[in-house]
Structure 1
Amino acid sequence: MQRVCFLLKVRQDRIDEYRARHAEVWPEMLAALSAAGWHNYSLFLREDGLLVGYLETEDFDRARAAMDATEVNARWQQQMAGYFEQLDGAAPDAAMVPLSEVFHLS
């Protein structure tokens, strides 16, 4: 199982709204993530907007491509794009650059 961690930056003025949106993720989005092989997926948000994402999957590139192929993800990414800083026109999913793991205690 591949462990993936990534960072994004939520706009300071939209943090509360971002939290609220994730308190009610669409059921079809949750189903698509599971079907695409995203497991143990968590988002952690610091008060300054630093967002840390973590997930486990067999193959991150394949799991991300599976989500890219869904209509629900296209709608979700379009609605979420305005919450983030420094995307340079990319969808939030495209800005998810995995961090290098340097230590793991199993």
Structure 2
Amino acid sequence: MIRKAFVMTVYPDMHEEYEKRHNEIWPEMVEELRRHGGKNYSIFLDKDTNRLFGYVEIEDEEKWSQMASTEINQKWWKFMEPVMETNPDSSPVSKNLKEVFHMD
């Protein structure tokens, strides 16, 4: 299992909306994430900085990277665009974090 962590930014007035959209995540989006090897996926919010910290465990980097081009993922990115910082292709502005410690 590969552990991935990343940070993103939600707009200051969209904290509740961001959480609401994830509480109501589309079942087909969850299924696609699982199909691409995603497990144990969590996102945390630091309200003071508007920063989101994401953590997901994946099976394979190549399989996971293919998730971005799926139809449902593209639809999700468009849906989330109004509530968070995004790139021109509607993907979230995201920075991967390097693991420096792990304990089981």
TM-score normalised by the shorter chain: which range applies? 0.7 to 0.9
TM superposition score normalised by structure 2: 0.88
- Residue type of the partner of 2:72? V
Structure 2 partner of 1:41: 41
Structure 2 partner of 1:17: 17
- SS of corresponding position for 1:98: strand
Return the alpha-carbon distance in structure 2 between the equivalents of residues 88 and 58 of structure 1: 26
Q: Which runs of 5+ in 2 are unaligned?
A: none
- SS of corresponding position for 1:28: helix
Structure 2 partner of 1:62: 63
Q: Judging by fraction of residues, say which structure has more strand.
A: 2
- Identity within the alignment, %: 39
With over 3 angstroms needed to count, the CA separation of the structure-2 counterparts of 1:60 and 1:81, relative to structure 1, is farther
- SS of corresponding position for 2:30: helix
**1:92-103 mapped onto 2 (5 Å cutoff):** 92-93=91-92, 95-103=93-101
Query: 1:7 touches 1:97 (CA, 8 Å); kept in 2?
Result: yes
Return the alpha-carbon distance in structure 2 between the equivalents of residues 59 and 76 of structure 1: 22
CA deviations on 1:47-75 (whole Å, 9 max, x unpaired) are 1321000001122343121x123211111
Aligned pair count reads 103
Return the alpha-carbon distance in structure 1 between the equivalents of residues 80 and 68 of structure 2: 14
- SS of corresponding position for 2:44: strand
| Structure 1 position 89, deviation (Å) | 2.0
